Structure 1
Amino acid sequence: MKRRDEAPIWWGAPKKFTTENTDRKVSWLELFYDLVYVIAISRITHHLTGHFDLSTLVEYLYFFPLIFWGWLNGSLYHDLHGAEGLRTRLMTLWQMMIVAALVITLDSDPGKRVFNITIVLLIMQLYITYQWWSVGIYDKAHRRLNKPWTVIYLLSFILMVSTFFVQEFWMRILFFSALLLNYLPPFLLHWLRRSAARSLSLSSSMSERLGLFTIIIFGEVIVGVVNGMSALQDLSFPLWINFALSVSIVFALWWIFFTLVSDRDCKKGILYSSILEILYIPTLMALAIIGISFDQFFEAAINDTHHFEQLIRIFGICLGIFLAGITTMSFLLHYPTYSEKFRRQTRQILSIGLLSVIFITNSGRHLELMTYLALVLVVLLLMIAILNYRWYSLQAKRSEREQSAQSS
């Protein structure tokens, strides 16, 4: 008689999470899976662009972490348990369909919008709960570790069901409470099974996936610049200068982020990994709102002085949050022992850059857009130049020490 935890080869039982594959590359299925999240992020970002008010911002503050949570669970599942076979492909397909359905409901009839969104969220919540629970059918060792996920995700499901029976004010509180609960399981596992939790770390392939998700957001920022320019009828030479400065700022932010964060491994342990994943949320949300600012910068600078000053303030705050996010992430990343001094210098440079951006924003709200963008770009380029100088100086000194040690 076939045991319950066995499965046909064509079906493909989930890979055991204890299986190590240090050379694993991101699969085509994972890249295809990411495409639906490109659409989801694009939709909520463009919705905020068209309705930039407090109510829509609160909605954005909910949906962005929710979409990131869905993407993160699917990505971690594939990283830990993805296998060659029909089951992994079907699990990916179903989640893609759910996220696509969520995107559709965001623009549904206003009278039924909340109901439609809630139904899809309940399906998504229940499906992701099943996703983690079902691994225990095939892998007994996983059963003792997936309980925090199963129990807490079901509690979140119950909270979301209860939104049908309360007023709008309490509905939002329950939705945000359920969202916070969804990020709790790794911390609960760390508290309950500390020894097991310390052995679970963010893989290099998962770090690459986080980098790919970040690229999605950078793409939205570039779209913001392009849309902002496309909305103008008279494309004068100064506007093209603003365009060049804007794209250069985005490129500089990409340079800083991927140099300092995405090429580094996270410290070992599920606690460090989970905190790093959560830090991506405010960092990338700030980056996305920078894209929204670019979308409206060019026209507001010409036609609406008050709105332009508001955008400058929002842009500066979000740029500061983005740099602060990178600074905080550096505490969770592994650096070689010989570069500990460089890490401290990196934090100092990022902090000085952050303060410089805040100073320029507060004192330069009455500046022309070109002047403001040029000053911000100068700050970012100086940061890049100093960071590169410090790093290559460190590498040169290390190389000299190694050569002298070999010669002696």
Structure 2
Amino acid sequence: MHNKPSNLWWGPPTHFDDRRYERKISWLELFYDLVYAAAIGQLTHQLATHPSWPVACRALLLFCLVFWSWINGSQYYDLHGNDSIRTRLLTFWQMLAVAAVAITIPDAFAGHPAPFALAFLCLQSLITYLWWSVGLYDPSHRTLNLPYTVCFSLAFGLLTWSIFTPAATASGLWVGALLLNLAPPLVGARRLVRILAGRGQVFTASAAIVERFGLFTIIVLAESILGAVTGLAGGPHQSPAAWGAFTLAILIAFLLWCLYFDMTSEQETKTGYGYLQGLIFLLLHLPLLAALSVVGACLKDLLALAETMPPPNLQWMFCAALAVIVWMIVGLTRIMQEEEEDRAYIRPVARLLLGTGAALLLVPALAPHLPTLAFLGLVAGLLLVPVLLGVRSWVRYKFLAGRPAEHAAGRQP
């Protein structure tokens, strides 16, 4: 181990060579994730209050910034975190900054960018320090964290500039900051792989970080449940049609859970391309989780309109988000390891999900005048088909897999 016992109270980050690929998710990591539920809840609330494409684009931009901060905080803990006072304090400061970001999200939607920019600057500075400090304590790691330090510092400059600009200009600067924040793992991929190969090391997404993404997906998916409950509770009256729409909304959330976790759960990324597989894993989750938050916002509005006809833009937004989700799930199946039993479920469902996404986009185009109950019923039916197909394929595999052994046992004297 590279860390001395005397450093357990306030010591350096865990050395890269000491990273554990198989470990239990810590309670601190789970607690850290909860503060992001507040930020995502604010974003879905803003979109549900003003369900329009411009608001959706603003929500997507802010979601990407928030999600970037979660990825970096989680990845840093996975690579360099430990049970020291330093790690706990840095995690607390990040949680405080994320909470401040959540509080200022309404200001960003109201055309006042300065409060959000100031709050996110605090978060940006903490994340920049985290990656810079790795090179400070471990000189051999400076060549790896240099792109992160440079790009994050440039993004810090753009965020500072946005404090003093109008809302439209600030949004453009935030887009630039986001691109800079996302750039290091992309522009430095070859260099990272080459350096690690020279050291006899391979970088892959650990089982722990894959599990963290599953837990974070649960947090975002919970917005669909909350949206359905809030939409029904806030409606003018709770008629049988409203309760029927509520049941279908919960069913849709449950089917999305089935598709994501049955297709990706308890698996690791393929090892053939190492770092590239892990990077694709991260990038596929960005639109997937953003779309899940849109689904939660739309369900709140759909339940509030349970006895009427939902507006076309709400239908399009809802179905487009669902299509993105199912297509991203298909993408994830291409980079995840498969056991034979998993393959019996995943392969037929993945092929069907490609068509399911297209069919979801046809719903608002071919049936724009459906009442909410019928609209949700049609969407739920489209999502139910691949789930039932997967269960059928899995049961058939289990049945056929057991038959040769039974026949062999029957032939024994």
Query: Scaled by the length of structure 2, what TM-score is found?
Result: 0.89
* 8 Å CA contact retained: 1:5, 1:138: no
> Hey, what does 2:56 align to over in structure 1?
57
Distance 1:297 1:134, change over 3 A: same
> Hey, what does 2:298 align to over in structure 1?
293
Q: 373-382 or 392-401: which moved more?
A: 392-401
* 8 Å CA contact retained: 1:4, 1:137: no
Shift of the alpha carbon at 1:200? 1.1
* 8 Å CA contact retained: 2:270, 2:336: yes
Q: C-alpha deviations, 1:228-251, integer Å up to 9, x for none? A: 101223212222111111111111
SS in 1 for 2:18: coil
Matches of 2:78 and 2:193, distance apart in 1:
22
Is 1:328 the equivalent of 2:331? yes
> Hey, what does 2:172 align to over in structure 1?
173
Shift of the alpha carbon at 1:356? 2.7
> Hey, what does 2:375 align to over in structure 1?
372
> Hey, what does 2:287 align to over in structure 1?
282
Q: C-alpha deviations, 1:15-56, integer Å up to 9, x for none? A: 112224244111111111111111111112112211223442
Residue 229 of structure 1 aligns with an amino acid whose one-letter code is L
Question: Matched residues, percent identical?
Answer: 33
Q: 50-59 or 291-300: which moved more?
A: 50-59
Distance 1:110 1:64, change over 3 A: closer
> Hey, what does 2:18 align to over in structure 1?
19
> Hey, what does 1:186 align to over in structure 2?
185
Shift of the alpha carbon at 1:4? 11
Matches of 1:61 and 1:111, distance apart in 2:
16
* 8 Å CA contact retained: 2:113, 2:162: no
> Hey, what does 1:44 align to over in structure 2?
43
* 8 Å CA contact retained: 2:113, 2:167: no
> Hey, what does 1:88 align to over in structure 2?
87
Residue 289 of structure 1 aligns with an amino acid whose one-letter code is V
Shift of the alpha carbon at 1:184? 1.5
Matches of 1:109 and 1:60, distance apart in 2:
10
Residue 277 of structure 2 aligns with an amino acid whose one-letter code is Y
Residue 293 of structure 2 aligns with an amino acid whose one-letter code is A
CA RMSD of aligned residues (A): 2.8
Matches of 2:186 and 2:51, distance apart in 1:
34
Matches of 2:63 and 2:403, distance apart in 1:
48
User: Where in structure 1 are there 5+ consecutive unaligned residues?
Assistant: none
User: Where in structure 2 are there 5+ consecutive unaligned residues?
Assistant: none
> Hey, what does 2:33 align to over in structure 1?
34
Matches of 2:358 and 2:193, distance apart in 1:
38
* 8 Å CA contact retained: 2:241, 2:306: no
* 8 Å CA contact retained: 1:228, 1:295: yes
Residue 133 of structure 1 aligns with an amino acid whose one-letter code is W
Matches of 2:190 and 2:372, distance apart in 1:
50
Shift of the alpha carbon at 1:80? 1.1
Shift of the alpha carbon at 1:136? 2.1
* 8 Å CA contact retained: 1:133, 1:150: yes
Residue 171 of structure 1 aligns with an amino acid whose one-letter code is A
Matches of 2:116 and 2:175, distance apart in 1:
14
* 8 Å CA contact retained: 2:344, 2:394: no
Matches of 1:287 and 1:228, distance apart in 2:
17
SS in 1 for 2:203: coil
Matches of 1:141 and 1:164, distance apart in 2:
36
* 8 Å CA contact retained: 1:186, 1:271: no
* 8 Å CA contact retained: 1:187, 1:271: no
Shift of the alpha carbon at 1:295? 0.8
Matches of 2:159 and 2:116, distance apart in 1:
11
Is 1:267 the equivalent of 2:270? yes
Match of 2:232 among 219, 229, 243: 229
